[in-house]
Structure 1
Amino acid sequence: MRHFPSVASALLIAACAACGGLAGGAAAQEKTEKGEGAIAAAVAAPSRTAANIARDAYRHPAETLGFFGVRPGHTIVELWPGGGWYTEILAPLAKTGGGTLYAAAPAGRLKTVETWKAERPELYGRIQLAEFPHKDGTKVPDGSADVVLTFRNVHNWRFSGSDNTAEAFRQIFAMLKPGGTLGVVEHRLPETMDSALEEKSGYMKRSSIVGFAEAAGFKLAGESEINANPKDTHDYPGGVWTLPPTLNQKEVGRDTYLAIGESDRMTLKFVKPAN
């Protein structure tokens, strides 16, 4: 005799199938909300230049932005974007979900982004420009940012003195929302080396950056070895700029420095306490 499931059994089977579908959908939604898909799409954007893409092997943009928790719809601040290596990724990423991207630097040091805004408004026209550290120009509004990012810039602030570095971190703290994130990637100086090297080499100690951040009110939320390079010996005649991409020693030791690759970098995630 052939047996048929009871009505109750059939309903249970259907409910379990629905639960499985919902679970799969929830997982996909969670992945989307975390920004993984949006980050991958931004890194793969056809608008990125070939020279910048070639450096992904050293800078790990997808993993780095994922670690910092950047998501679609965020208000993102990129400090001192320079030549715009990360801006090429952050502009399409911020646009996803209606987010906002600020490029913030001292007056007169946003020429690359200003040119891009004028020449390619469909890609970069929505970027907001601000002065950082703020003096008397347009500032990132206090309490407005979900994420503030700075890539290999803290040493530049350090060159202008500890007081100016401390002020920079205080301004970052102010621009973030409670619970917001500060993501720092910086050339790493081993703790056992002379701290005086921070004043000229381009490398910074982890303890120094954590000290500046905590003094401003931040809490260290995590750190990653995503951008580490164990081949880096941190002791070059021309500082960190001896290594690629700068190669400031020209042809002297060029093959050696190319074999080392870009610098050893720490990747630190700080949060502004929610209360």
Structure 2
Amino acid sequence: MATGGIPGRAAAQDHQGQAIAEAVAAPHRSADFVARDRYRHPQEVLEFLDLEPGMTVVEIWPGGGYWTEMLAPYLRERGIYHTAISPSGASERAARAAAEWRKKLAGAPAIYSKVKIGEFGRGVAEIVPAGSADAVLTFRNIHNWMSAGFAEEAFAAFFKALKPGGILGVEEHRARTDQPQDPQASNGYVREDYVIELAKKAGFELAGRSEVLANPKDTKDWPRGVWTLPPTLALGDQDRDKYLAIGEADNFLIKFRKP
């Protein structure tokens, strides 16, 4: 008879994978978002980030809700799910986005009624009560904070929010290593080593890296930066088929841990 904890751990991982698969396959998900799964690999990303259904998870700047459509049902019964949006008072655009976000969540209470809405932006030092989160997640946002000049502040806030042992999961468009990092990240790309140093400066330890989001077709020299590629397609119909064939950007996925 088998002894020790390994069989139990394997069973727990299988159960976790099944729960994530059910969230990915949920019928309420937007067709446009489902079409992006071939680029964003949600099953592999969420498993890599070690998310469990009973966790307290904070997603920073959830955008249109690609990950929310999966994380909300995944965490609904046992966990706590916070979405931290840009402060509505920051600009008219932020106010409109906040209104749209609340409308989206209110439109499907059976799925989203337990999702908590908070704010994160420049000057917001406490996203959730200090030391209360098991995981903080941010997907393709760091270039925005670099452009606005508060990337270091952001990582310090994430560190404060997490419990000891908590996970910070980061996805970002990967910049070339043969060029220096633009401090403003004006083309939307960020060097992986730059992000690792940002996290270490905030106190994090590197816990893992994944290449599941890599795209070698992305040469990162596009006329409108990363936004030339899908889903934005900033050039409109100009060379549209070319950029669709390349696909979404080459992205890195990193997992950090708070000691």
TM-score under structure 2 length normalisation: 0.90
Change over 3 Å in CA distance of 1:153–1:26 after alignment to 2: closer
1:100 pairs with 2:86: no
Residue type of the alignment partner of 1:228: A
Give the unaligned 5+ runs of structure 2. Answer: 89-93
SS of structure 1 residue aligned to 2:101: helix
1:144/1:175 contact within 8 Å kept:
yes
Residue type of the alignment partner of 2:75: A
Equivalent residue in structure 1 for 2:154, among 152, 162, 168? 168
Question: Who is 2:57 aligned against?
Answer: 76
Change over 3 Å in CA distance of 1:198–1:236 after alignment to 2: farther
Question: Who is 1:28 aligned against?
Answer: 11
CA shift, 1:112, in A, is 3.5
1:184 pairs with 2:167: no
TM-score under structure 1 length normalisation: 0.85
Q: Provide the identity percentage.
A: 47
SS of structure 1 residue aligned to 2:136: strand
Question: Who is 1:7 aligned against?
Answer: none
RMSD over equivalenced CA pairs, Å: 2.1
2:86/2:119 contact within 8 Å kept:
yes
Residue type of the alignment partner of 1:240: V
Residue type of the alignment partner of 1:51: D
> What is the total number of aligned residue pairs between the two structures?
250
Q: For 1:23 and 1:224, how far apart are their aligned partners in 2? A: 24
Change over 3 Å in CA distance of 1:138–1:185 after alignment to 2: closer
Q: Which has the higher helix share?
A: 1
CA shift, 1:30, in A, is 4.4
SS of structure 2 residue aligned to 1:247: coil
Change over 3 Å in CA distance of 1:135–1:125 after alignment to 2: farther
CA shift, 1:24, in A, is 6.3
1:130/1:137 contact within 8 Å kept:
no
Give the unaligned 5+ runs of structure 1. Answer: 1-15
CA shift, 1:25, in A, is 6.6
CA shift, 1:196, in A, is 2.3
Q: For 1:36 and 1:152, how far apart are their aligned partners in 2? A: 24
SS of structure 1 residue aligned to 2:248: coil
